[in-house]
Structure 1
Amino acid sequence: MDLKLKQEMEVFAIQARIETLKALGHLGFGHVGGAFSIADLVAVLYNGVMKVDPKNPAWKDRDYLVCSKGHAGPILYSTLAMKGYFPMENLLTINKPGTTLPSHCDRNLTPGIDMTTGSLGQGSSMAVGIALGNRMDGRDNYTYLILGDGEIQEGQVWEAASFAAQKKLNHLIAFVDWNKKQLDGPIVEINDFSNVAQRFEAFGWNAVTVNGHDVEAIYTAIEEAKKSVDKPTCIVLDTVKGKGCSFAENAASNHHINISQEQMAEGLAVLEEQLAKAVAK
């Protein structure tokens, strides 16, 4: 992997966390945990992987992204704003009356959001439909799907997985944010899905587990997935919920939390220090 591209992705991931923390801190609460754990993934997708055009969000030949774990919307909003889909100042309206940036992703409100999500499990079926539809239309674009590890306890995910394998949707690449926590606690205490890659393999997918905070590992896994000729691919991201947020990363419960001004200032100071080091590499 080109070292300059790697640095750009790492810097972008930190910047996206900074903008997300500013937005949620301004609001006073939000889904910090699941948003921060996929910051490195979206940095990779929007900086060297996905074929998109911020000036034409509805471009039919673009690559599509379905964030099925719709509560991670804030990190996507920051990413989209940074890429020029809409003004940066819009981020301070997240989840407020009249906003175009609701708590969960909404394709009818936000430029760059390809599918409305948040009802967990349903995004998997929609991503499969998009991938199949694009192939039927003769397009060679990719559909990317982001799932949560609590979310994959939904039966609909596995119905979609079975269908995708049956149809050999090799231009469908799914990511599971394996941060090991869900709303009500640790995955292992609720419904242990530790063997995620093996489960997808059993359903006929290619599957691999990588460090979800290593942009090079994520990028390489996607490049390998694109070599598949007859199977969809699942990339399991071994992540930490709330990664990069000083006051949330090690908290027992960090799915949706209140954020004080003091916490925001503390978190931003840590991230700004990380950013300075990343830029200086």
Structure 2
Amino acid sequence: MKKRTLRADILLILTATIWGFAFVAQRVGMDYVGPFTFNAVRFALGSLSLIPLLLFNHRQEIKYRKILPGRNRKMSLSAGCFAGLALYLGASLQQVGLIYTTAGKAGFITGLYVVIVPIMGLFWRQRPELGTWAGALLAAVGLYLLSVTGKFTISYGDLLVLAGAFFWASHVHLVGWFSARVGSIKLAFLQFAVCSFLSFITAFAVESISLQSILRGLLPILYGGFMSVGIAYTLQVVAQQEANPAHASIILSLESVFAAVGGWILLSETLPVRGLIGCGLMLSGMLLSQFNITADSLRTFMKAFPTRTTST
């Protein structure tokens, strides 16, 4: 394994760990503030935490005369707006959904973006392998067992988180495409700022914002702002400069496992046997979706087991 690839994998695993436990912080934080206020403040903190790195990079650009031309500045702004919009939509649906579902379930349902990422590649004429379709089928069965009741209904919170998974998948594609063309720190800062700005607008429109409430929920907000946003999302952007979106998404899917562990340890969340089986199938589907299984590889595998012939 190449040194850069190994570094990217380590950064992505660390990102998944931080994100997984962030589901607990997000759920606890809403005991004090509304979902849009929580996102607005935490993404603002995340963007502010990057200002020292942003200034350092700017000084380095001046020192080595690598200031971006006007055209590239426009690309940076475009990248920040598109990635920030996808981030806002995914984070908003997830945060509102957490009001009505558990941290563990939200983590596993959000993890479905791992299956969605390669399927979305169809729009860019990327052909998903057989493993992707098999993984999607397993994940769908797992989602049914985890979230769909005997009356064939899905809870409102689970549905919102599921919708958010599509925007997380879009975000992975956007970051993968832009991170190679725009500085990683600059992209992270811009997308956090855009997401925070949109969340503040929504919060002022539909929620009551009070400084006292924010201060009471400061601990989970700080974790969500500095750890989940400032550190983890930045690690994702840096890592995806060396890892393709599908490879990155499979490692990041481990956040669902850490979310379930965090919900169990810190919030005493439990799942019935049906839900545990569903989580197992979903995680298996996420892993299987990343295996490079083709028709040729299946034929080669079958040739390794010669069929017996019977004589009469």
TM-score, normalised to structure 1, is 0.27
1 or 2 for the larger relative contact order (CA 8 Å, sep ≥6)? 2
Larger Rg: 2
Decide which structure has greater helix share.
Answer: 2
TM-score, normalised to structure 2, is 0.25
